[in-house]
Amino acid sequence: MRTHQELGPHGSTTGRDGAPAASAWILLVLAAVVATPLGAGTLGEMTLDEPPERFAVVVRFEAEAADLTGKFAQVLPAAYQHAVAQGRVPGLAFSRVLHAEGASMLIEAGVEVDAPVTEAGSSPLGPVEAGRLPAHRTAVVDHYGPYHELPTGHAALQAWWAEQGLVAVGPATEYYVTDPTVETDPERWLTRIHHPVMARDEVEEGLGFVTGRWTGGDASRWIEETWTPLVDGESLGTFRMRRDGSPVFYEFQTIDARRTVDADGTVTVRPQLRIKHFGDGLVAWEEKAEMATFELTALEAGSAVWSAREGDRWARLTYRRVQDTAGPGLEVVLEKTGGDKPPSLTRFAFVGATSD
């Protein structure tokens, strides 16, 4: 394991005319990925790193591959400018795919900053917000070469961590270290790929913080969430809400972190949170086998973030253990964006974990 290496800020954050160069990096990356056949690139040593928590200014938006270049051109300058307006020092530009379904992707792109921002800004594709990259064990490889060759770097890194008995817990992040407007030789362009990883047993242990019976609500609404301990990588959960003494709706849920063995013998874990909704009388909202399926986006001590596509909207569901004067608690936050509706945020607060 190597000592964490700081990624920024550095001198190529702005172009020669003072304009943000971050957008140039992303535009070149995506134009190459979309238009150029796959190549190999040159890879550095693959290592494990443990970077500290880092702050960022980000925009989350939906895109398909053919739309990426134009959309990054809209969001990266906005993120950079908002960081400067907030008195922060921008670092490296980065991007990551939070969730993909079919041709559609939910993307987070932005720049690292030296301290968190306190106010939101705007971009043509949505709000510019404070972001964070949590401290986490990370598999890292340096990729030297044109951006269209990056997929081979991701594939090689995945094969390497699988050999170490590790599994991915969340999406990879690409940091664009070299400014192509300064270094014109594509073979010398450095992109650092970070992918959060855990040992297989740690994934099951890390997801277990939701275990128990949790209740909350107010004078007119009562809510309850229960989760069984994970057994062989699977947990069963329920949620129910009552309003003014009458049932409103129910959810049946599973966390599936079971191991699968590929044809080549590689053991993988792809944690998913699956939810089916029911109204009063146990009338299903979804058709038969349909359900909301969330992919694990981030996992750290006492916190898990899941993302999913729901119709024409993206949903992000955060579970977080909290502690206050009432004792141990569980906070669940549901965020929805996209479609023709404004963004929404719903927060549920539970207390009183029990074993019954």
Which parts of 118-211 are beta strand (E)? 121-123, 126-133, 138-144, 166-168, 173-176, 190-199
- Judged against a pLDDT cut of 70, whether residue 285 lies above it is answered with yes
Least confident of 19-28, 220-229, 254-263, 286-295: 19-28
Give the separation between CA 69 and CA 52, rounded to whole angstroms.
30
Element at 154 (helix H, strand E): helix 150-163
Q: Residue 179: is its pLDDT beyond 60?
A: yes
- Among the listed residues 127, 125, 114, the one whose alpha carbon sits nearest the alpha carbon of residue 83: 114
Question: What pLDDT, on a 0 to 100 scale, did the predictor assign at position 11?
Answer: 33
Question: Which pLDDT value is given to residue 325?
Answer: 65
**Which is nearest to 133 in space by CA: 166, 103, 109?**
109
Identify the pLDDT of residue 40.
62
Closest to 206 (Cα-Cα) out of 260, 239, 170: 170
Q: What percent of the chain has pLDDT over 90?
A: 44
Q: Residue 144 CB: number of other CB atoms within 10 A?
A: 18
pLDDT of residue 36: 40
Q: How confident is the model at residue 208 (pLDDT cuts 50, 70, 90)?
A: very high
Name all domains of the chain by residue range, CATH numbers in brackets: 11-199 (3.20.80.10), 211-354 (2.40.128)
SS3 sequence, 198-250? EEHHHHHHHHHHHCEEEEEECCCEEEEEEECCCECCEEEEEEEEEECCEEEEE
Average pLDDT over residues 295-299: 89
Region 159-169 average pLDDT? 88
Assess whether pLDDT exceeds 60 at residue 253.
yes
**Does residue 26 carry a pLDDT above 80?**
no
Provide the pairing of β-strand 190-199 with 173-176. antiparallel
Q: Give the residue from 131, 124, 129, 65 showing the smallest Cα distance to 100.
A: 65
Share of the chain above pLDDT 70, in %: 86
Strand pairing partners for 141? 193
Q: How far apart are CA 56 and CA 39, in angstroms?
A: 31
How much is the average pLDDT of 298-323? 88
pLDDT, one tens digit per residue, over 312-344 is: 788 999 999 998 766 789 999 999 887 778 878
Q: How far apart are CA 2 and CA 18, in angstroms?
A: 35
